[in-house]
Structure 1
Amino acid sequence: MTRAARRLGARGAALAALGVSLGAARAGAQPSAAIRLNQLGFPTTGAKAAVVADSAATRFAVLDARGDTVLAGALSPPERWAPSEEVVRRAEFGALRRPGRYVLAVPDVGVSTPFVVSDTPYHELARGAVKAFYFFRASTPIEARWAGPWARPAGHPDDRVLVHPSAASDARPAGTTIAAPGGWYDAGDYNKYVVNSAISTYTLLLAVEQFPAHAARLDTDVPESGDALPDALDEALWNLRWMRRMQDPADGGVYHKLTTAEFDRFEMPDADRAPRYVVQKSTAAALDFAAVAAHASLVVRAWPRELPGLADSLTREALAAWRWARQHPDSVYDQRRLNERHAPAINTGAYGDTQLADERRWAAAELYLATRADSFLVAAEPHAAPAADVPSWGSVRTLGLYSLVDHRATLPAGFDTTALVRRLASLADSLVARARQSPYGVPMTTRDFVWGSNAVAANQAMALVQAWRATGDTAALGTARAVLDYLLGRNATGYSFVTGFGARTPMHPHHRPSEADTVVAPVPGMLVGGPNPGQQDRCAGYPTRVPARSYVDATCAYAANEIAINWNAPLAYLAVALDALASRR
């Protein structure tokens, strides 16, 4: 008997003991949708798990690229997950530490998509998630040298943007033109929004600040690659420059958004010639700008030669926006009322927010760190604020907590920093407890399946990483890794929700350039919104309204399949953080 025959015989015996047919496990066999796991892979050390649905099996095996069984184990008892209304079992294979390419095999089900075990399983994802922001850039050509087949001409120069009547002032009457080029297209459309830009820019800045050595090495192959700044910082600064242009230098107020009157057609950016407007100065925009500009001033001080004077300029602009917000505490963006008073009517994304205490706390926390003026620390109310929650564009108070905890060593003598850490740890403890009740190992509950549910998950993971950094809680870090597994395929849909990363990924995101270009594959590195039982788009093809399975890969499904900068930013942070930690081993 040849060595190959003996190997095949050993493989067959092992699989027969599990009841798995050789045909089902053969290399190249169609993967089973019932086996859900991270379709990219796992670090050599740490937990590794898959979820198996629709199976009565009790055992599993892991096979290497030759088809040899390298590990076998017992599936967990069946458990029901309420958000997906499924009964599933878990396969735990953390003992698998040898680098290589594998599949997981289950009797009566078949084999999983292939996955790798390596010391750098998240590296390409980190590059791709950060580089996605290059593809979001406005007012500049996206060149083939860096974009490959997704190259496109420059769109929306935004050098002659009209002041909408809602934004008119003595210095800038309605119809005046201003220049506000640059920035990122916000989502599947071509408009730019300050409120959503703020949390997105802050999140990228935090990745650079908290993982500086790794960020410095992360080459995303963009025009700025090779300069003295980390590519992720170059990207954040690209958007921050646009945000600074949205501030009126006459009074410090900040326009809420730069937009067309209606959403654009599905065409390439350079084909869209509709008039664009800056619309209403809002309290939320001013406070969010003050917060992110103040935080950026801290980050850029590490590069005084490359960015001379920028930190001081950002601090001055943040203070001006803060003063404007104090003078206009109730300038809430209400698009319906705006359209009753002014023409043309504006019917693009509103990002309206009537509760502004969280923006004030965030801005005050960041301005304290930038200026060391005690009055800002009092205004931030770090000990009196409501309990920490998972951040979103409309709830940002916990971002100020992140920054204060990160810089707690510099807070005034006698300040109760332990209480700050405890607030963050309490949030993490609640997320870990919820994950332990889930067979998918994630904190997501039924109420989290909303528009942008994947961003909810990614921001939960980001909060867990903050808690781990502050406390060393390995359970928090492990749960953050489990969330990345969820986003990359260990979920009830069986999709990896990041375009271009995984065996089964979205091909039809609600993203105008991806739909309007001639490339079959969408722009890579984008996180789609994810399951949403609201189905507000009324797109055909949703398989169900069951929360965790209410997803369809269709361009019309903007409630589940749109992309957005505030969804990609926490994905980029999480991928950079976990890539940095894996590469330290």
Structure 2
Amino acid sequence: MKKLSLFKAVLLVLTLTSFIPKPATDSSNSWIRINLLGYQPSSSKVAIWASKTNQVPDKFELINQNGKVVYTSTNIKSFGAYGPFTATARLNFSDFKTPGKYFIRIAEIKSPEININDEVYRHTADFALRYMRQQRSGFNPYLRDSCHTHDGYVLYGAKAGIKDSTYMDASGGWHDASDYLQYSTTSANATYHLLMAYRDFPQAFGDEKQANGLEGKNGRADVLDEAKWGLDWLLKMHPKENIMFNQLADDRDHLSMRIPKEDSQYGKGFERPLYYIDGEPQQRGKFMNNTKGTSSTAAKFTSAFALGSKIFASADENYAQTLAKKAMSALAYANIKKGVTQTVSVKSPYIYAEDNWVDDMELAYASIPLVDSKSWKKNAKEALSYAKMEPITPWLTRDTANHYQYYPFVNIGHYELSKLNPLMRQQLTQYYKQGIEQVWDRAKKNAFYRGVPFIWCSNNLTVAFTQQCMWYKNLSGDKSFTELEQANFDWIFGCNPWGTSMVYGLPNGADTPTDPHSAFTHLKKYPIDGGLVDGPVYTNIYKNLIGIQLGEPDEYAEFQSDLAVYHDDYGDYSTNEPTMDGTASLIYLLAAYDSSVKTIPKEFQSLQGAIIRGKTTEKKIALVFTGDEFADGGESINKTLVNENVKASFFLTGRFYSKAKFASLIKTLKANGNYLGPHSNGHLLYNDWTKRDSLLVTELQFKSDLIANYSAMEKFGIKMGDAKYFLPPYEWYNQQIANWTSQMDKQLVNFTSGTRSNADYTYPEMGKAYRSSDEIYKSILDYDKSNPNGLNGFILLLHIGTDPRRTDKFYNRLPELIKQLKNAGYELVTINNLLKEEG
């Protein structure tokens, strides 16, 4: 919580205003703002011209590291005055896609270095995760010390029969905002974002830390270690069906700045107060807060527990079952008294004044099918009813709002429910669109495309709005707001009036926060890598906050205005304090951008987003075998490959990997240097056979199933990073499946059409579909003879086993086929070799 208890602040109802400074005539009073982190080649790429003169350029140049002009453009859109600037304009260079490092030049004005590369966001999610780890309470791995181990004593617990000051274990979790309060509402939302980030983009995360946060791999992605740290604390905050706590500690925390050892200012030694959720108003300084029910916090518990149960099911079944039970009891708690639960303060009237709760209930009901699949229709219907109650998150329609009044700042329920129930998707995506249009109506009037209000934690709102734009685009296919989405992402990393990144230490060597409102940096000079700071606020808010005093001269003085201010100064608690929950949201966003769809190289043939053939200029063929329930050809195929000194690729389902009778074969194939990959966990049919665009699975089902396939592979030492290529079950998919695969940093592949090799599973009872081994063999040789490029680059698909009703087993012809292909000059390689990947 912000350090408001030190001051008597006055929040004014604001309207969006602008200030035009006196025109400057010196051309040095002009700047070019960019995303300091960089741009992906295929992304929207826009820089901002910002000047205190009246000048607007008519062209700009892109200069490479050798000083050569590589691009010149007149794609400039002028917007006039904004904030401290007299003239502003958007410099669009989206059509320049060549990777490299450059700068924009306009006369003698130069931009900072521009990095264009597919890898610009690589590992940034893990970098931001450092801040979450540093915020741990209980054992803190950064300090290698423990803190707050005596928490806490219960208040307001009468409804549960708990006497005031009763001790209950609540140690753990995360400190909230570089202070040491801990809130269930922000912690549950942060936990959900971390779980969702891993579920949607697992390959964005590495494994460099143990579960306790210290150095050392533990076989689990670090983001899951962090999410479990959050889940474990939430379990303590909901220890029994009739007990749930909303808050640990209160604004008495703000009496001093200190490194988090053990606090003793709460009247009971080292114990801190633990506030029970009773659905009734509780303390807010000299007044009472506006708590009306139990729903908002309890519903957040529900969704976090449900998603956690789903994700940890394969790794820790007992833990997953515990979370599933807690999800159900938390939902019951949310329904005790419908309404919002607000936080508590003792000395000041300032709190997290959350005022909406139906969005939390929507997400809760959309999450319950993760732990109770039989009730998905009923729960989806319930979730939709709540969605209709608040189709647009209220802050999107406004120029101002109270602190955390509409939280979370993005309606995650719309996104999750759209994936759970495709029939509801159109309505829910329209809700997203309506909210985006409200912000766009403000944003389109200025060069920065800024439509997010400058209230406290404006950066959190900016990240949330970027998420909403991204989700809308992914769900609807409508790319109308792509440039708006990118502009908000760019804002966080320097394309703003101040020209600074709002994330501590990211990117390295650029202008990022160095003096945030944090005890770690202020007292000990400890870096708080990855922390997202609050961000600029309306100048009217800043001026009415008593007690702010900058410690050093303002390095951004010439960019402050009557519109908004931002300071990289410990003394400004309103703009430069990092937050745990905002950083967790940013981690999701960074993982998404890091995992965005990549372009398939032109030398490969593709269909619906899957690579279906390698280079036709190289005489290479990848023999590919798929398997689900049968493996009768396994030993014969392996023997042939060894005898012929050939390596092949095997795409096997999770069910195949999990069968004990196949384990020895799998180990042998792996030991012999063959490529082993996934083929889905349950051999799902993704889309309709006749209506290819008609999906039969949700995004959640698809990604959960594929993750389960990889989990089964890990038992054989095959990690997700070792198997980039994924061959879909039934060899049937569409572009959406390819996109989802790409989001997980995997590449969909499929067989090359033209031969009958993939029909080697058929048997006579199938009638006209049946193909004999002779017919299959002949089709392969005929294709080679009748096509100019022959079988060059072919992905030739066969099956590792077939139904017993097929007695004419094609794998018995494999030795003959391989010899024939070798004689024709072909090299038989694994799929990663065919597609020029290492491994």
Give the counterpart letter for 2:152 in structure 1: V
Q: CA RMSD in A?
A: 3.2
Q: Does 1:229 align with 2:220?
A: yes
Q: Does 1:394 align with 2:410?
A: no
Aligned length: 527
What does residue 421 of structure 2 align with? 408
Work out the percentage of aligned pairs sharing the same amino acid: 21
Offset, 1:477: 4.1
CA distance in 2, matches of 1:517, 1:237: 28
Q: Secondary structure at the match of 1:140?
A: strand
What does residue 353 of structure 1 align with? 354
Q: Could you say which structure has the larger radius of gyration?
A: 2
Q: Does 1:63 align with 2:63?
A: yes
CA distance in 1, matches of 2:253, 2:259: 16
Matches within 5 A, 1:192-211: 192-211=182-201
Matches within 5 A, 1:2-41: 34-41=31-38
Cα deviation 1:254-307 (Å, max 9, x = unaligned): 333344734252111126444411013155666434434434434543443422
Q: Secondary structure at the match of 2:497?
A: coil
Flag the 1:314–1:52 CA change in 2: closer, same or farther, 3 A: same
Cα deviation 1:363-403 (Å, max 9, x = unaligned): 33333554353554444315632322278673448222121
Q: Secondary structure at the match of 2:232?
A: helix
CA distance in 2, matches of 1:547, 1:458: 24
Q: Secondary structure at the match of 1:176?
A: coil
Flag the 1:220–1:35 CA change in 2: closer, same or farther, 3 A: farther
CA distance in 2, matches of 1:71, 1:220: 44
CA distance in 2, matches of 1:564, 1:183: 14
Give the counterpart letter for 1:78 in structure 2: S
Structure number with the higher helix fraction is 1
What does residue 331 of structure 2 align with? 322
Give the counterpart letter for 1:419 in structure 2: Q
What does residue 130 of structure 1 align with? 129
Q: Secondary structure at the match of 1:324?
A: helix
Q: Secondary structure at the match of 1:581?
A: coil
Q: Is the 8 A contact 1:287 1:360 kept in 2?
A: yes
Matches within 5 A, 1:386-535: 386-389=390-393, 394-396=406-408, 398-409=411-422, 416-431=424-439, 435-440=443-448, 442-445=449-452, 448-502=453-507, 503-519=510-526, 522-533=527-538, 534-535=541-542
Task: List runs of 5+ in structure 2 lacking aligned partners.
Answer: 1-26, 266-270, 280-292, 397-403, 601-839
Q: Is the 8 A contact 2:33 2:111 kept in 1?
A: yes
CA distance in 1, matches of 2:471, 2:207: 21
Q: Is the 8 A contact 1:509 1:563 kept in 2?
A: yes
Flag the 1:302–1:358 CA change in 2: closer, same or farther, 3 A: closer
Q: Is the 8 A contact 1:256 1:278 kept in 2?
A: yes
Q: Secondary structure at the match of 1:116?
A: strand
Offset, 1:90: 2.1
CA distance in 2, matches of 1:348, 1:136: 25
Flag the 1:553–1:298 CA change in 2: closer, same or farther, 3 A: closer
Offset, 1:181: 1.7
Q: Does 1:281 align with 2:282?
A: no
What does residue 574 of structure 2 align with? 559
CA distance in 1, matches of 2:430, 2:340: 34
CA distance in 1, matches of 2:77, 2:331: 55
What does residue 797 of structure 2 align with? none
Q: Is the 8 A contact 2:363 2:417 kept in 1?
A: no
Flag the 1:468–1:121 CA change in 2: closer, same or farther, 3 A: same
Q: Is the 8 A contact 1:243 1:289 kept in 2?
A: no
Matches within 5 A, 1:139-288: 139-142=138-141, 151-164=142-155, 166-168=156-158, 171-212=161-202, 214-215=203-204, 217=206, 222-223=213-214, 226-249=217-240, 251-259=242-250, 261-270=252-261, 272-274=263-265, 275-283=271-279, 287-288=296-297
Flag the 1:439–1:104 CA change in 2: closer, same or farther, 3 A: same
Offset, 1:219: 5.8
CA distance in 2, matches of 1:220, 1:99: 32
Offset, 1:237: 1.6
CA distance in 2, matches of 1:63, 1:219: 38
CA distance in 1, matches of 2:31, 2:191: 37
CA distance in 1, matches of 2:207, 2:102: 27
Flag the 1:94–1:254 CA change in 2: closer, same or farther, 3 A: same
Flag the 1:68–1:273 CA change in 2: closer, same or farther, 3 A: farther
Q: Is the 8 A contact 2:340 2:355 kept in 1?
A: no
What does residue 50 of structure 2 align with? 53
Q: Secondary structure at the match of 1:72?
A: strand
CA distance in 1, matches of 2:262, 2:247: 25
Q: Secondary structure at the match of 2:391?
A: coil
Flag the 1:215–1:297 CA change in 2: closer, same or farther, 3 A: farther
CA distance in 2, matches of 1:93, 1:245: 51
Q: Secondary structure at the match of 2:537?
A: coil
Give the counterpart letter for 1:511 in structure 2: S
CA distance in 2, matches of 1:215, 1:189: 29
Q: Secondary structure at the match of 1:449?
A: coil
CA distance in 2, matches of 1:185, 1:179: 16
CA distance in 2, matches of 1:302, 1:334: 30
Q: Which moved more, 1:506-515 or 1:52-61?
A: 52-61
Offset, 1:311: 3.0
